[in-house]
Amino acid sequence: MAATLIRRGTALAATGAVAGALLFASATPAAAGGDDAVLTATRGGVSPTAAAADVIRCTLRVHQPHYSHHAHAADKHRVNVTADVKCTKRVARLRIKVRLYKNGQPYKTTGWKSNSGKNWISYNAARRCVKRQRYQGQAWAQVVFPPGYRPPAAAGTVKSRVVTINRCTR
């Protein structure tokens, strides 16, 4: 699976014009940075018109790190980052992994979470909140498309913007 970083406001297109060959095109990433990656597959072996109408588009999104609104329930002060993949149709398999950074260093990394036959998956990474620190989230996703789609699988990663959390309270 090839890894591709696509930021908000850009598009990724994959076509199987020649068996086994993939052409990837993407616009220049947005100057302000982004937090979305788009993975796309088209059904192969059908007319170009039918293939254009039969596209699966999966969006990997990492949300901004934030002080957890659930923290007081457990009397724990946590910083949390969430990520999800949403596809326009069900896919054979989805995998996602999330990392939280503190001041540019890995602070919490999850393992892989997987599901099959779904069009959505989400995950989060949380750890003790330390005030006046810079936090960032990163997510990785792998998508296995249903049989007959090209490419058969895709992967992507994306990072959130860096945010400073000044207080670890509500």
Q: What is the 3-state secondary structure of 92-151?
A: CEEEEEEEEEECCEEEEECCCEEEECCCEEEEEEEEECCCCEEEEEEEEEEEECCCCEEC
User: Quick one: pLDDT at residue 92?
Assistant: 97
Distances (CA, A) of 112 to 65, 74, 123, 130: 19, 25, 9, 26
State whether the Cα torsion 22-39-121-147 is positive or negative. Answer: negative
Residue 50's domain comprises: 3-165
User: Quick one: pLDDT at residue 46?
Assistant: 61
User: Quick one: pLDDT at residue 103?
Assistant: 98
Tell me the three state secondary structure of residue 29: coil
- Report phi then psi at 58, rounded to 5: -115, 130
What is the total count of domains within the chain?
Answer: 1
Query: Which residue stretches of the chain have pLDDT < 50?
Result: 1-34
68 has which bridge partners?
none
Is 119 part of any domain? Answer: yes
User: Quick one: pLDDT at residue 11?
Assistant: 31
Is 170 part of any domain? Answer: no
pTM above 0.85, yes or no: no
Is 53 part of any domain? Answer: yes
Is 112 part of any domain? Answer: yes
Q: Say how far apart CA 89 and CA 145 lie, in whole Å.
A: 10
Q: Do the beta carbons of residue 58 and residue 14 sit within 8 Å?
A: no
Q: Say how far apart CA 72 and CA 136 lie, in whole Å.
A: 22
b/e code 46-81 from CB counts within 10 Å (16+ = b): eeeeebeeeebebbbbbbebbbbeebeeeeebbbbb
User: Quick one: pLDDT at residue 50?
Assistant: 63
User: Quick one: pLDDT at residue 136?
Assistant: 97
